[in-house]
Structure 1
Amino acid sequence: MNHFAILLQLIILMALSGCTYLYEAGKQANYSAQLKNEPKLRIQKHLIDTGKFFVYGKIQGDAANSAKPMGVVALSDKFQQNEIVDINNFSRIDSYYGLTLPEETYRLLVVTDLDGNGFFDETEVIGSRDLTLNEKETPGKVLGGFDLEAGAPGTYSVAPFRIEAPATSGLSDSLFYPKGTIRSLDDPIFSPQMATLGMYDPAAFLEVAPMMFYALEEDVGHKIPVIFVHGIDGSPRNFAEIVERLDRRHYRPWFFYYPSGSDLSQLSELFHNIFLSGNVIPLNGIPTVIVAHSMGGLIVRDALNRFSGAKEGALVQRIITIASPLGGHPDARIGEYAPLVLPAWRDMNPDSTFIRHLYRKPLPKNTAYHLFYAYGNSSALKLGENSDGVVPMSSQLTQPAQNEATRQHGFNDSHTGILMNKEAIDRLLSIIAEVKPLYSQQLQEELDKGGFNVDLGESFSPMEKHFIRHYGHFLAALASGKVAPGDPFQEHFVQAFRGEVLPNAPAETAWIKFSSMAPGGDTGKSRNSLSEKEQLPTKR
């Protein structure tokens, strides 16, 4: 292609992109100027063409330290003493943190607002660990399992600093997830503005949404995970109409919410580490469904190349890609000449290493792959070959993807319209429904009933309350003998309830307390006040 043709196509593409592209290109130029005039790693990490590392791990230590706001801070002395390069404000003990950092040496600090003044300072450091990042030691630029130990304050020598501790009181707490993970789809974090920020300034996106894993409800282990992965400039909101019709009794929606302008290999490694490997979420072979739209399909497909099938990982039974550029996007070739080139766009070039190696391994043996493609293009200006208005048909139906697809499903709708297409949603939900609940029908019927929404008082721990409120009917059925135990854990529960063995799990201690509640006890609701259907067996 000659230079004039390239220039003409670039002008057309930038005109179609609107003002946002030009604004973001100008912002990147401003970052470069700032870095030249006053070098700072905090500025450097915002440059789209500068390689960045994603670091995550657990904070371990005394849970009492979580009573106050807590954060993880990355400090560097490269350009100035104690430069604050990144901070994760959604931290707590026995949960995960995440940071985005350029290549350099850092000191990571665990801090907590001990005096309650709304700031973190050097007297409130309760943990510290040195970190060196370079591509030789971490070639994929993803460093997981970098755990931090939180101890007593006052034992760490740190130069003075002062950082505002943002209020997180409005965020949902969870027994199982990092603080802020549980959100509704109308949460501002999923807004179009945030999605666009993630495309053009991944570091700024990750300062607001650092963990990439989100859910709509507290974890309930018997439900099958359905993991939704959006495309470029997308968010979990794209799947709202599908989630609204999902059978939430049997399936739990999870979301991989990521900065979509980032390097696709890095994103695929993160997706694998979080959702598939079992290292972050130990699914232990629980059947799992993945639904990916557009570029999300590339991330998922590459992540499955990394999947070892470890027993603590996911058992991926169904994958559904929707309007995905499975052969790359031809316009990405032209994008190489643009004033602002997103790493993700570079990876979508059909000639890129990422696309050429995308099918380097077959899909897992027992995984059924359904390829949804869209062919409705309502654009007044139609350029190039047939498409859904965004992705060419030749890419959606690239031969390697067709070869491994269990079935292909075509819909006369646009690239995003397919996510609201009734026929497409009906088909997708029927595929999800092929992945059956984990337990027998009799056990599942009791699980479907949920638990008892009663005031349990201070004598019950948070985990014990969780079991009563989410599994109460099931525990009652097990204890009464209405249903037979389905695994060794359930057998031990029955034995503990009967007094044959000592209780050693929160479900057991919770049910023994709950079944022994007397009228006028601290719960405010005795067995006698439950409805006839809720009557509980008495501990023998």
Structure 2
Amino acid sequence: MLLICLGGLKMRRFVSICVLMTILWSLNGCALVKLREDVQFSKDSCLLFGEILSPSPLKKPIVVIAYSNNNGVITIADYTVLSEPGQYELLVQDGNYELFAFEDAKGDFSCNQGELAGYYGKPAKVKTQMGGGVFGLDIILVPQTKPPISSFANMLVEFSGGKRKPSTSAGTIASLNDPAFSAENGLNGFWTPLEFFKRTGCNIFFIEPYDSRKTPILFVHGAAGSPQDWLYFINNLDRSLYQPWIFYYPSGARLDTTSFLLRTKLYDLHRKYQFESLYVVAHSMGGLVSRSAIIEKDNFHSAIKLFVSISTPWGGEARAKTGVDNSPAVIPSWKDVVPDSEFISRMFATKIDPSIHYYLFFGHKGGGSLFRPNNDNTVTLESMLDLRAQADALKVSGLNEDHVSILASPAMMTQFKSILAHTEKNRGKTYVHSKGYVHVEHAFDPPNVKIPSQMALVLAPTGTEEKETQLKINPFLQQQETGAVVPKKYDVSLCALGFKTEPDRITLDIKPGKIAEARFILKPQGMVAGIIAATASADDSYWGFDQELPEQVKIRAIKLTGNGITRTLAPAVTMRDREVLAIFLSSRDYAFKNSFAFFDVPAGEYDLEIAADGCKPFSTKIKAQPGEFVPPSPFRLILQ
């Protein structure tokens, strides 16, 4: 009997490998080579992330370019197009780059006379590393900025193969009939995610202008999917009540990277539109991406009222493990869909907030055999019905559909419309007039300092452990009104990295329909701060994704020396999130878990040393400049 069982296990593994080989062999030789190249480039690549700011109220298209400059020889590494000032992402290989942005009102890739432009720094070199990302690369557009070369036009046209990239500004209006949204291109995003990202980007698209009277429904496709997967849903929506948004992403990318980009796009949209309700509907692997994003307490979190997952592999997919173990070229997202992967474990470590109504749907029109458990022709029922996912669901519903047909199922649509009606009836809808506002006034001391590119108003509910709200503040406006804010009492602070704010907090009782006032003075201060991560293995290196330190690694000391000062931090064992926030906003040195900060550091260069159990000693040079702080790339420790 034991021999029969062992033989059965071996046969199942053999069949799984055969299935994988069938998939890979269905690709022609050129496609497999492209997959290998894409994966290798992904390991060597780094995500650059920042924001374009402009003192001009006019909204014009903007081109952002990362390029290498070797003694005046310019080589483009990547570029992106924005429809207006806002956040941007670029993807480059390991190296040193300069960043330049300019208005492109004529759409000709040229920085014409009279158009605003700007560099990151003066310009400053951006040193990237394999995998991960570099953040805080903000660029302020100003008049009369001389570009590094007379014209980028020909170089950009050649770089993009004669086709202008779509805008990556969150909320760009697009047509579902656009070839970029085709099933074929969605498949490219699975097999060659880096190439897809550089050509199409990763963005939330609108198919109509934003309308505050309509509730947005965000649709998130699955592996190898595209926005066109949602045509049946969108065509059957009551468009007088709802506006469809679509998150389009390279589904072969690591899910941590994809989830992070989804969060940044939602953050940007919420900052711009202050929407009070958002529904999220996700298919297949899109459910993993969506849940990972909505469990984070970002500024848009309170707006999420509904989450619907359809045919999601909550328990992972055994065939993904077969692919990781045996494929000659591993699609990066396979690593996150392996059963009990780090991604899935972290995702389930936090439950979905009870304020979000969650409905779980699955299809059971598939098959089952000795070698493959019951499934919907793609995902097993066991995975779709993972008990951890069911525990958060208000209702679990099965339909006689397979993995694909469920998205065009009248029965599915009937239930979905019923859920929408129920949610509308019970969500306790609030309106803008029920919110409060804050009139913020700030000044700099001395008044002629360099204006920081980023400022945020932080509102922490007084006397509770509730998550704080962060509202973007325009640093160019000394007085402005912001909101809408849920009425209650808050400890309010103004945060600008590289500055000390006085007072560090004030308490405001924000009332509905009223405007509270807050005044702050900002003084330049030097600052050294960062995140500590692990150096990823060559196989795990990936853009936008930094390897967390293993739990057994204990950081013992973080030491800063130079210019006559020596300071050492020992990370606190336990601290409440609110306590960490209060210490940071009051500009007091701290270290907790894998983050740390030294404040009031004189200008100059310093030695930074990190000692941790199970890791090689780490040291690096780092500069501090009062009034100027850019978050450094994570400090990566080498595990022993």
Tell me whether 1:239 sits opposite 2:230 in the alignment: yes
Within 2, Cα distance between the matches of 1:152 and 1:342? 45
1:146-225 superposed matches below 5 A:
146-157=137-148, 162-164=154-156, 178=169, 181-225=172-216
Shift of 1:48: 4.0
Within 2, Cα distance between the matches of 1:289 and 1:211? 20
Tell me whether 1:305 sits opposite 2:295 in the alignment: yes
Match of 1:74 in 2: 66
Tell me whether 1:342 sits opposite 2:317 in the alignment: no
1:404-419 superposed matches below 5 A:
404-419=392-407
Within 1, Cα distance between the matches of 2:430 and 2:143? 50
Match of 1:60 in 2: 54
Match of 1:10 in 2: 17
1:216-365 superposed matches below 5 A:
216-275=207-266, 277=267, 281-282=271-272, 284=274, 286-308=276-298, 310=299, 313-336=301-324, 337-365=326-354
Shift of 1:76: 2.3
CA contact (8 A) 1:126 1:154 kept: yes
CA contact (8 A) 1:49 1:342 kept: no
Shift of 1:397: 0.4
CA contact (8 A) 1:109 1:127 kept: yes
**Per the alignment, do residues 382 and 273 of structure 1 end up closer, same or farther by CA in structure 2, a change over 3 Å counting?**
farther
Match of 1:372 in 2: 361
Shift of 1:23: 3.8
Within 2, Cα distance between the matches of 1:370 and 1:231? 17
Shift of 1:132: 3.2
**Per the alignment, do residues 56 and 17 of structure 1 end up closer, same or farther by CA in structure 2, a change over 3 Å counting?**
farther
Within 2, Cα distance between the matches of 1:357 and 1:51? 25
**Per the alignment, do residues 262 and 251 of structure 1 end up closer, same or farther by CA in structure 2, a change over 3 Å counting?**
same
Match of 1:52, as an amino acid?
Answer: C
1:107-126 superposed matches below 5 A:
107-112=98-103, 118-120=108-110, 126=117
Shift of 1:409: 0.6
Within 2, Cα distance between the matches of 1:157 and 1:7? 57
Normalised to the residue count of structure 2, the TM-score between the two structures is 0.58
Shift of 1:213: 1.1
Structure 2: give runs of 5+ residues left out of the alignment.
1-5, 433-511, 515-640
Shift of 1:223: 1.2
Within 2, Cα distance between the matches of 1:413 and 1:346? 27
**Per the alignment, do residues 135 and 283 of structure 1 end up closer, same or farther by CA in structure 2, a change over 3 Å counting?**
farther
* SS in structure 1 of the partner of residue 250 of structure 2: coil
**Per the alignment, do residues 313 and 333 of structure 1 end up closer, same or farther by CA in structure 2, a change over 3 Å counting?**
closer
* SS in structure 2 of the partner of residue 9 of structure 1: helix
Within 2, Cα distance between the matches of 1:118 and 1:415? 44
Shift of 1:189: 1.2
How many residue pairs are counted as aligned between the two chains? Answer: 418
Shift of 1:118: 4.1
Shift of 1:200: 2.0
Within 2, Cα distance between the matches of 1:245 and 1:374? 20
Match of 1:472 in 2: none
**Per the alignment, do residues 300 and 154 of structure 1 end up closer, same or farther by CA in structure 2, a change over 3 Å counting?**
closer
**Which stretches of structure 1, 4 residues or more, deviate above 6 A after TM superposition?**
1-5, 121-125, 166-171, 437-443
Report Cα offsets for 1:400-459 as digits up to 9, x if no partner: 01111111010011101100111111101221223339999999xxxxxxxxxxxxxxxx
Larger deviation, residues 207-216 vs 278-287: 278-287
CA contact (8 A) 2:12 2:371 kept: no
Match of 2:628 in 1: none
Report Cα offsets for 1:349-384 as digits up to 9, x if no partner: 0132112222111112311110001111169x9950
Within 2, Cα distance between the matches of 1:233 and 1:79? 43
Match of 2:46, as an amino acid?
Answer: K
Within 2, Cα distance between the matches of 1:251 and 1:142? 37
Report Cα offsets for 1:283-341 as digits up to 9, x if no partner: 54612110000000001111123224x4x655211110000000111111111120111
Shift of 1:152: 2.5
Structure 1: give runs of 5+ residues left out of the alignment.
32-43, 444-486, 490-540
More helix by share: 1
Larger deviation, residues 182-191 vs 46-55: 46-55
Normalised to the residue count of structure 1, the TM-score between the two structures is 0.68
Within 1, Cα distance between the matches of 2:24 and 2:195? 21
Match of 2:341, as an amino acid?
Answer: S
Within 2, Cα distance between the matches of 1:233 and 1:112? 34
Shift of 1:140: 5.9
Q: Which has the higher contact order (CA 8 A, sep 6+)?
A: 2
Within 1, Cα distance between the matches of 2:134 and 2:254? 11
CA contact (8 A) 2:170 2:265 kept: no
Shift of 1:19: 2.8
